[in-house]
Amino acid sequence: MAFLTSSLATIGANVHHNNPIAAGVANTIATVAPWFEFVPYIPVEGKALTRQYQVDADLTKFTDESTDLSADATTSAQITTTAHTFEIKSVVGQAQVGQLNSAGASANGVDLMAIAVEGKARDIARKVYKQVVTGKTDGDANGFEGLQDDLTGAANLLGTALDGTGASGNILSLMDELLDGVTAKDGQVDWIMMPSAVMNKFREKARSLNAFEYITTPITNRNILAYQGIPIFRNDYIPMTGGSSTEAYIYSGCWEDGTGNGVAMLYPSTVPGGIITEDLGVSERYLANLTRVVQHTAFGVLNTKGIEHMQVDVGELA
């Protein structure tokens, strides 16, 4: 199954918004975390995406002209799949600005509503970035699935985590092993995500080798750390676990590119980027004006071979 993918940059500039405030919200979201500048956005019909994962192996073989293919168990094997559904959820905030305060600020050239909307947009982005990791179990139960719950727990889409908790673990060797586990694009890996505690160990190692790499983000032109040309995203919502709370997961994977082999953010196809801004006018209860900011979104894993995770002990990394 192929999907149409786009970036937050193109969504932010999409003429179909016909709404400069919505475009501004998209741009504000991009400034919160570099992740939003890289991750693809996929439009979904309806409010959920069901992905069929192929579970078969050994479906073909070399043969010759005399082989009865209909009787051959390998060449005639039927493909079987297992389904998983990713539900889009809504994050909403209402900006309320008192009319008297607004009038006073406007006289000084300040648009309080614009500032309030930007604040709501930033908080939406933080909530979404947190939910990508924590999901329903460790995050908001009303939110979408994330890496820490159904993807590693009940649904177990990612399987067992690689064990990188051995004594004196070389952070670079462990990252090489992590990248090797991503096979959907035949070895191409597009992203790495880790908490700051692990990133500090990576920096320490890179500093000792004088081997820092950086990538410039496509929207805000920020320089972020990279490894083997792969951007590294800091996400401090990845919890520290283990008996001494020094263990954490690190993740790597592929971006979805339209062929069903990576991860993406999902949104309803009728709402670009899932972003809606609505001027609600005057509050019925207060001397204030209201603007609602909404994003309908979810995190989708389109191919379980396009993502890998490893558990490491920060205290043992070197």
Residue 2 pLDDT greater than 50, yes or no: no
pLDDT digits (tens, 9 = 90+) for 40-72: 999 999 999 998 887 667 778 888 888 888 888
What per-residue confidence (pLDDT) applies to 277?
87
Residue for token pair 């263990």: 247
For residue 15, what pLDDT band results from cuts at 50, 70 and 90?
very low
Residue 141 pLDDT greater than 60, yes or no: yes
Residue 201 neighbours by CB distance under 10 Å: 20
Take residue 49 and report the two structure tokens written for it.
Answer: 């995406």
Residue 9 pLDDT greater than 70, yes or no: no
232 in Cβ contact with 193 (< 8 Å) = yes
For residue 1, what pLDDT band results from cuts at 50, 70 and 90?
very low
Question: Which three-class secondary structure state does DSSP give residue 100?
Answer: helix
CA distance 185 to 203: 27
Tell me the pairing of strands 230-234 and 41-44.
Answer: unpaired
% of the chain surpassing 90 pLDDT? 50
pLDDT digits (tens, 9 = 90+) for 280-294: 888 778 778 899 999
Q: Which of the two residues, 87 and 153, has the higher pLDDT score?
A: 87
Please count the helices (runs of H) and the strands (runs of E) in the chain: 7, 14
Mean pLDDT of the chain: 86
- All domains of the chain, ordered by start, with CATH? 8-55+83-316 (3.90.1690)
Take residue 221 and report the two structure tokens written for it.
Answer: 């032109």
Residue 103 pLDDT greater than 80, yes or no: no
Query: DSSP label at 134?
Result: H
Question: Which three-class secondary structure state does DSSP give residue 264?
Answer: strand
pTM of the model: 0.87
185 in Cβ contact with 261 (< 8 Å) = yes
If you average pLDDT over residues 204-221, what whole number do you get?
A: 93
What per-residue confidence (pLDDT) applies to 115?
86
Least confident range from 20-34, 87-101, 158-172: namely 20-34
